[in-house]
Homo-oligomer: A and B are copies of this chain.
Amino acid sequence: METKNIILTEDCLECLFKTTCNQTISQEDFDFLFQSTTQQNYKKGEVILKQGLKTNNLVYLLKGIVKFNYEDENKKNLILTITKAPTLLGLANILNEDVSIFSIVAIEESRGCLIDLDKLKMLALNNRLFMLNILKMSTGMFRSSIFNFISLAHKQVNGRIADILINLTKNVYQNNSFILSISRQEFAEYAGCSKENVIHTLRNFDNDNIIKISGKSIKILNLDRLIKISQVG
């Protein structure tokens, strides 16, 4: 894991976090935050925030794709969600002093910008619009987690896998064809079922010409039918 003091790079100039801040934060305030940030590169599989540890920084993900991973008492993994850059990671830990309840792990080569949590809190206290932004992101995260929750809670495997494929197409890869960043095992941990069940279900979707599968490469042929499957459960 390579760490370096930040120098203005092209990424930084286009940094969306900066853009967000500038709407509500003065240049001085931003510089105050900015001085303490460091950039990190993460290889596929590398842990960005670790479950069970206290963290004293947020990570603004500049580039890459990550999974939110929860490991239970029996060492079984559950993927809560998969999300792509740009996004702010670690919001759930802002105010609750407790440890992180899940890990965030890169599933593609990624780059993040570490933001000092104490400094951010200081700014938030002194800047109400900035805090409003953070509050908005936080409640937004809560709202979107509800839908995940609903999907897993009372849909069968068909519907859950349809939901995951829809999320990957629309939000993560934003393309009808993509190379899956996760293994079949991880897909199963996302869908909350066995990996064999994932394989069977994907095969069925392929046979029904809803998707085209070849190893890690997936092409969505009929998004409407996926949405229909998601709806009936």
Report which A residues bind B (CB closer than 8 A).
70, 72-74, 76, 78, 80, 91-92, 94-96, 98, 101-102, 124-126, 128, 131-132, 134-136, 138-143, 145-150, 152-154, 192, 231-233
Find out whether the CB atom of B135 lies under 8 angstroms from the CB atom of A134. Answer: yes
Q: What is the count of identical protomers in the complex?
A: 2
Q: A154–B92 contact, CB under 8 A?
A: no
Q: How far is the CB of A143 from chain B (nearest CB, A)?
A: 6
Could you jot down 5 A-B contacts, CB within 8 Å?
A70-B150, A72-B150, A91-B139, A126-B128, A135-B138
A75 to B145, CA, bound (A): 21
Interfacial chain B residues near A126, Cβ < 8 Å: 128
B154→A192 contact, CB < 8 A: yes
B96, A154: Cβ atoms closer than 8 Å = no
Tell me whether chain A's interface is mostly helix, strand or loop, or mixed: helix
Distance, CA A142 to CA B49, complexed state (A): 18
Query: Which residues from B are CB-within-8-Å of A152?
Result: 149, 152-153
Say how far A65's CB is from chain B's closest CB, in angstroms: 20
Q: Give Cα distance in the complex from A102 to B152, angstroms.
A: 16
Distance between Cα atoms of A231 and B76 in the complex (Å): 11
> Contacts of A78 on B, CB cut-off 8 Å?
150, 153-154
